Amino acid sequence: MFPKKPPMGFNTWNTFGENISDAMIRETADAMVEKGLLKAGYEYLVIDDCWSEKKRDPVTDRIVPDRVKFPEGMRVVSDYVHGKGLKFGMYSCAGVRTCANYPGSFDHEFLDAETFAAYGADFLKYDYCYKPDYADGTLLYRRICTALDNCGRDILLSACNWGADNVHDWIRSTGAGMYRSTGDISDSFVSFRDIFLSQLDNVKFSGPGCFNDIDMLTVGMRNRGNVASTGCSDLEYRTEFALWCMFGAPLMLGCDVRTIDDTTLKLVTNPYLLRINQDEACRPMFAAHKEWDGQRYVFARVLTNHEIALAFTNLSDNDGTLWFPFDAIGLPVSAKKGLQLTDAFTGEDAGVEKEYMRIPVKAHDCAVFIAKVVNL
């Protein structure tokens, strides 16, 4: 499957871990529709690890859905999800066991692809634990992509090898539609900051067909659930979401969308930020300015419609002022033009600036604008 824009959806892992069930998936599907998340673009509902029995069926060798969590099997769950207009995602692993020690797909790739197709899956997250040392990771992702390409269903492969083996160099050639480039996120500012910064040099590898996945969002988790850590403030969550949008990363919600609070809902359905994330040109973001501490940046991203997104980002622990000259985005003083700004968080007109901008940004916060070049 060749995604043209960063995939968007929800994944069970961050909040639910092993506590998943038929009822929880159906309720999530209901919530994604009722709360307007599907309408905003969040179309995949992905079941992560821990969905199966611990052993394959001794007769058919197939993976079997957990009989307690999914008593009626997966097809009915998938039918329900599809009935809501959503797409259905499953999880497996390139190794012999999944990371939480359930059966993996190693040497069962074609059989499992067939099983996922029979479930009606549209998406498969594919992890990297318990890979035999002698097996080459590149080859294993090629295998599952070949298997999916020949299973009779269009299934997006979401590779998850945490950035190992220089994954960005070869993953696009396998047919994967997105690839995890980092270790696991937890619900803290430090976690999302470090993940984001670690991929600045790799933004250029991300684009239509295969997107760099910097992990599921923790936005709105409020330190509840499987990857709880220190939790984040509202200000930190909005920075996380804005950075994922600027990066052009897949947007997979990790909070419990059944109980999502209004602030979070408003943030993740913000049309300006989503426009930045989903811009069809998928041009890479770049640092138009970087402060000496490596923690304060002005990121820019050229959008279609002659627009440019700007994110004044303060990842340091101190309030500060961020500055950048418009020349850094290709607008020299000699052009005698300015930037007309729209505040991406509020949608408000933020006026016209010329030559440069200098604005205060609180510690861990960011200010995001969509700008258009105008005559002065």
In the complex with ligand GAL, the residue whose CB is nearer, 254 or 338, is: 254
For ligand GAL, the binding residues in 313-352 under the rule CB under 6 A are none
184 binds ligand GAL (CB under 6 A): yes
Minimum CB separation from ligand GAL for residue 227, in Å? 9
In the complex with ligand GAL, the residue whose CB is nearer, 155 or 341, is: 155
Answer yes or no: are the C-beta atoms of 95 and 127 closer than 8 Å: yes
Alpha-carbon distance of 233 to 209, in angstroms, equals: 34
Answer yes or no: are the C-beta atoms of 176 and 141 closer than 8 Å: yes
In the complex with ligand GAL, the residue whose CB is nearer, 32 or 214, is: 214
49 binds ligand GAL (CB under 6 A): yes
Which one is catalytic: 30, 149, 154, 184? 184
Minimum CB separation from ligand GAL for residue 289, in Å? 32
- Which span (96-104, 115-123, 249-257, 265-273) binds ligand GAL, by CB under 6 A? 96-104
Answer yes or no: are the C-beta atoms of 246 and 311 closer than 8 Å: yes
127 labelled catalytic:
yes
Distance in angstroms between the alpha carbons of the first and the last residue of the chain: 46
Answer yes or no: are the C-beta atoms of 376 and 333 closer than 8 Å: no
Residue 183: strand, helix, or coil: coil
In the complex with ligand GAL, the residue whose CB is nearer, 89 or 248, is: 89
In the complex with ligand GAL, the residue whose CB is nearer, 16 or 324, is: 16
Alpha-carbon distance of 164 to 171, in angstroms, equals: 11
**Which of 29, 47, 99, 214 touches ligand GAL by CB under 6 A?**
99
Measure the CA dihedral 8/128/200/230, to 10°: 80
Number of residues that bind ligand GAL (CB under 6 A): 11
Site string for ligand GAL, 234-273 (x = CB under 6 A): ----------------------------------------
100 binds ligand GAL (CB under 6 A): yes
Alpha-carbon distance of 112 to 144, in angstroms, equals: 9
Positions annotated as catalytic residues are 127, 184
Residues that bind ligand GAL (CB under 6 A): 13, 48-49, 98-100, 127, 129, 160, 162, 184
